[in-house]
Chains A and B, each alone.
Chain A
Amino acid sequence: DTEVTQTPKHLVMGMTNKKSLKCEQHMGHRAMYWYKQKAKKPPELMFVYSYEKLSINESVPSRFSPECPNSSLLNLHLHALQPEDSALYLCASSHPRGAGVKIDTQYFGPGTRLTVL
């Protein structure tokens, strides 16, 4: 199973709403990532979790709050978003370096298309 799943596929929310994006993988990967992708632009890294600990926060506004409850699951909690936060949110996972099997290849989920009204 080389699949990363993301739910929901689409999300429309108002600026006062609280919602969460969910990402799941069962490949035994211990690094998980959140990216944001605007139309016709490349993905931009937001957060990295390594062994369930937050390792990178790319100066993301606090209205985005990541959570990694276990090694298979990654959440992104959203609160008080702005219309400019509308984008495709991608989750990815990878083996830790040194794992010896296809290290470092990042496997991406299909994304959640978020629209903030």
Chain B
Amino acid sequence: KQEVTQIPAALSVPEGENLVLNCSFTDSAIYNLQWFRQDPGKGLTSLLLIQSSQREQTSGRLNASLDKSSGRSTLYIAASQPGDSATYLCAVRRSAGGTSYGKLTFGQGTILTVHP
């Protein structure tokens, strides 16, 4: 059974810092890995999706890397801002197995607070 762990559980940083969120998974037979952001009481916003054949993806100040063999992914946030404060979730999709849909296993999330 796939297990996804995120470290740290919570992180508080001053504005402007670069930071790294970590995600690890136990079964390396994944199809892709997705990073989401969730604001309190809201739905999830997809940030980045990395296919199993890829090493990293970038979007603006965000960079996500994937090392499938070691079961790890990191989300790097550059020049953090108070508006980045949210819960960040990583989710892995197991190998496709011929299905047309994705069954995701989520980590517990990292609660990020960026203070001015």
User: What is the interface of chain A, defined by CB distance below 8 A to chain B?
Assistant: 4, 6, 30-31, 33, 41-45, 48, 50-51, 55-56, 88, 90, 92, 94, 96-98, 102, 104-111, 113
- Contact present for A107 and B100 (CB under 8 Å): no
Query: In the bound complex, do residue A109 and residue B102 qualify as a contact, i.e. CB atoms below 8 Å apart?
Result: no
Question: B96 — which chain A residues lie within 8 A by C-beta?
Answer: 97
Q: How many A-B residue pairs have CB under 8 A?
A: 72
When distances are taken between beta carbons in the complex, the residues of chain B under 8 Å from A56 are 101, 103
Q: Is the CB of B100 within 8 A of A45?
A: no
Encode contact with A along B70-114: 1 for CB under 8 Å, 0 otherwise: 000000000000000000010101001001111110111100000
Interface residue from A43, A98, A109 paired with B100 (Cβ < 8 Å):
A98
Cβ B46 vs Cβ A107 within 8 A: yes
- Name B residues whose Cβ lies closer than 8 Å to a Cβ of A: 31-32, 34, 36, 41-46, 49, 89, 91, 93, 96, 99-104, 106-109
13 interchain pairs, CB-CB under 8 A: A6-B43, A31-B101, A42-B91, A42-B107, A45-B104, A51-B100, A55-B101, A88-B41, A96-B100, A97-B102, A106-B46, A106-B104, A108-B45
